[in-house]
Amino acid sequence: MSLKILVAEDNADIANLLRLYLEKEGWNVILAKDGEEAVTAFRKQKPDLALLDIMMPKKDGREVCAEIRRESKMPIIMVTAKGEISDKVACFEIGADDYIVKPFDMKEVILRIRAVVRRAGVEEGAKHVEYEGIVVDLDSYTLILGGREVDAPPKEIELLYFFASNPDTVFTRDQLLDQVWGYDYFGDTRTIDVHVKRLREKLEGISDKWSLRTVWGVGYKFEVKEK
């Protein structure tokens, strides 16, 4: 599937450079020179991912990110000229999935885009996995257990989707942080334990054909006895 990427950048040289390299990857690029154009393009053209410069006229990247987040869970990467920890944390707090610091290397941009869309399942044609008694759908961020939709935070759904998409594979806590939270996540491995505990509470008694198992001394795996 060819990605459709919204690039919101008021510097024409940078915007054209991004378009050149992203199109070389076979991706479709939508350019917006200010925040208002970015919001309009998002609503009309339904991109798969947005690359938003923070400093833009009319509406800055933070405002655009907040507006998109109210309507969509699509991946958002912020582009900032500041690399301090507080600036990076602020990007995540407004709903971004990742950030890139200027000046950037285009190889890094492409790798970060690939990492974000992989975590979000955007390039996978199917963002839906199911086993007996369980359906996890990342398109709609829904979790159905025993035929009933269950409320769950987005990160729990993403974590369960990742587990269920890789059955019988053991993952360390660090690997799970990298794959689900992103390698720049500012937290510790206890985050994984908390989310797994909450998932187990929801999954208890649903089926004996699969389980979310602890592999002592290593991490966790989604063990399937019979699909």
**CATH number of 89's domain:** 3.40.50.2300
Give yes or no: residues 105 and 31 share one domain.
yes
Q: Report the alpha-carbon distance of residue 33 to residue 53 in Å, rounded.
A: 10
The two most distant CA atoms of the chain are separated, in Å, by 57
Question: What percent of the residues of the chain are helix, what percent strand, and what percent coil, each to the nearest 5?
Answer: 40, 25, 35
Give yes or no: residues 114 and 21 share one domain.
yes
| DSSP-assigned letter for residue 179 | I
Residue 61 pLDDT: 84
Q: Report the alpha-carbon distance of residue 31 to residue 5 in Å, rounded.
A: 9
CATH number of the CATH domain containing 191: 1.10.10.10
Residue 124 pLDDT: 46
Backbone angles phi, psi at 98, to 5 degrees: -165, 175
Backbone angles phi, psi at 101, to 5 degrees: -100, 130
Q: Which residue in the block uniquely carries the two structure tokens 């200010």?
A: 34
Residue 100 pLDDT: 87
Residue 121 pLDDT: 67
Give yes or no: residues 14 and 115 share one domain.
yes
What is the rounded end-to-end Cα distance, in angstroms, of the chain? 27
Burial annotation 66-94 (CB, 10 A radius, 16+ → b, else e): ebbeeeebbbbbbbbeeeeeeebebbbeb
Counting the structural domains of the chain, the total is 2
Residue 2 pLDDT: 65
3-state class of 70 per DSSP? helix
Give yes or no: residues 39 and 104 share one domain.
yes
For the chain, list the strands marked E by DSSP: 4-8, 28-32, 49-53, 76-80, 98-101, 128-131, 134-137, 142-145, 148-150, 171-172, 210-215, 219-224
Asked if residues 15 and 31 have their Cβ atoms less than 8 Å apart, the reply is yes
Domain boundary residue, one of 120, 139, 155: 120
Give yes or no: residues 50 and 152 share one domain.
no
Residue 126 pLDDT: 53
Give yes or no: residues 10 and 108 share one domain.
yes
Residue 105 pLDDT: 85
**pLDDT means over runs of 10, the chain (227 residues):** 82 89 83 90 86 89 88 87 72 82 85 83 65 88 92 91 87 85 68 93 93 93 81
Residue span of the structural domain in which 35 resides: 4-120
